[in-house]
């Protein structure tokens, strides 16, 4: 598994763990950005090591090329001096260094391709990190708006679920009862006073009728009744 692939796996694991815990999305976003930042720093160290190895291989290849060139020049010098034995030894060492150059060239090409791929992946990861940082505030605003909408919808649903007609009817009935009770109390108070006056007037009328009756019967005053 590549270095950047391993980092992506770690990030996915952290994100899934956060989702499983049902954490606050705002905290999750901040944690994801922190994880991405830490992964990028770790990846930078790994990529730097690969690039350093590439440079080291390139330096070894260049040194081998220089040594091959030097032994070639020595072989020519030995030939000009009539020293075939030295020329042969110089050519043998030149060939050894040529083989080393070939080996280092193969290693360098492979290392260069790897470092180039890692750099591209690193650039992609950096781009995603920058996008996450830029979109953080937007995503948080969207989350808060969603929560506000949910709260409003719940309140509307609660209000809509109430039977306003029955509630108003119950209150109207209660008010009518209170009005009727107040009217009854007022009527009782008024009737009590009027009844007292009627009794008084009724008593006065009976006395007058009794006087008239006695007068017709010749029994005015305190005369005793006839035998």
- Could you say which of 143, 176, 191 is where a domain stops? 143
Sorted by sequence, the CB contacts under 8 Å of residue 1 that are 6+ apart come out as: 9
Tally of structural domains, the chain: 2
Condensed to tens digits (0 to 9), the pLDDT of residues 58-111 reads 999 999 999 999 999 999 999 999 999 999 999 999 999 999 999 999 999 999
For residues 7 and 105, state if they share a domain: yes
Is 78:87 a contact under the CB 8 Å cutoff?
Answer: yes
Could you tell me if residue 185 is inside a domain?
yes
For residues 22 and 130, state if they share a domain: yes
Condensed to tens digits (0 to 9), the pLDDT of residues 178-190 reads 888 887 777 666 5
Could you tell me if residue 148 is inside a domain?
no
Q: What's the pLDDT band for 206 if we cut at 50, 70, 90?
A: low
For residues 138 and 181, state if they share a domain: no
For residues 94 and 134, state if they share a domain: yes
Q: Which two tokens stand for residue 57?
A: 């291989």
Could you tell me if residue 226 is inside a domain?
no
- Could you say which of 110, 143, 176 is where a domain stops? 143
For every residue of the chain, which 3-state class applies, written as one string?
CCHHHHHHHHHHHHHHHHHHCCCCHHHHHHHHHHHHHHHHHHHHHHHHHHHHHHHHHHHHHHHHHHHHHHHHHHHHHHHHCCCHHHHHHHHHHHHHHHHHHHHHHHHHHHHHHHHHHHHHHHHHHHHHHHHHHHHHHHHHHHHHHHHHHHHHHHHHHHHHHCCHHHHHHHHHHHHHHHHHHHHHHHHHHHHHHHHHHHHHHHHHHHHHHHHHHHHHCCCCCCCCCCC
Sorted by sequence, the CB contacts under 8 Å of residue 85 that are 6+ apart come out as: 78
Whole-number pLDDT of residue 1 = 47
For residues 119 and 204, state if they share a domain: no
For residues 47 and 104, state if they share a domain: yes
For residues 202 and 99, state if they share a domain: no
Could you tell me if residue 98 is inside a domain?
yes
For residues 19 and 108, state if they share a domain: yes
For residues 122 and 213, state if they share a domain: no
Could you tell me if residue 159 is inside a domain?
no
* Entry pTM: 0.51
Could you tell me if residue 149 is inside a domain?
no
Higher model confidence: residue 54 or residue 10? 54
Whole-number pLDDT of residue 83 = 92
Higher model confidence: residue 116 or residue 150? 116
For residues 137 and 188, state if they share a domain: no
For residues 133 and 92, state if they share a domain: yes
Could you tell me if residue 150 is inside a domain?
no
For residues 93 and 16, state if they share a domain: yes
Can you tell me the mean pLDDT for 139-153?
79
Residues of the domain holding 119: 3-143
Condensed to tens digits (0 to 9), the pLDDT of residues 1-47 reads 455 555 555 555 555 555 455 567 778 888 888 888 888 888 888 88
- Could you say which of 143, 159, 176 is where a domain stops? 143
Could you tell me if residue 154 is inside a domain?
no
């Amino acid at each position: 598994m590549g270095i950047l692939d391993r980092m992506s796996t770690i990030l996915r694991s952290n994100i899934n763990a956060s989702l499983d815990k049902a954490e606050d999305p705002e905290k999750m976003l901040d944690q994801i950005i922190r994880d991405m930042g830490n992964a990028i720093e770790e990846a930078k160290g790994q990529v730097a090591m690969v690039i350093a190895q590439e440079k080291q291989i390139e330096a070894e290849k260049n040194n081998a090329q220089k040594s091959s060139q030097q032994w070639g020049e020595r072989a020519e010098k030995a030939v000009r001096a009539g020293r075939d034995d030295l020329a042969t030894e110089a050519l043998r060492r030149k060939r050894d260094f040529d083989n080393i150059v070939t080996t280092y060239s193969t290693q360098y090409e492979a290392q260069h391709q790897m470092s180039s791929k890692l750099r591209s992946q690193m650039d992609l990861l950096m781009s995603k990190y920058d996008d996450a940082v830029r979109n953080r505030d937007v995503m948080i605003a969207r989350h808060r708006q969603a929560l506000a909408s949910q709260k409003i919808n719940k309140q509307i649903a609660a209000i809509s679920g109430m039977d306003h007609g029955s509630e108003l009817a119950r209150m109207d009935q209660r008010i009518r009862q209170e009005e009727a009770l107040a009217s009854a109390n007022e009527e009782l108070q008024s009737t009590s006073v009027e009844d007292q006056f009627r009794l008084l007037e009724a008593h006065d009328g009976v006395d007058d009728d009794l006087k008239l009756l006695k007068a017709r019967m010749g029994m005015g005053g305190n005369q005793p009744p006839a035998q």
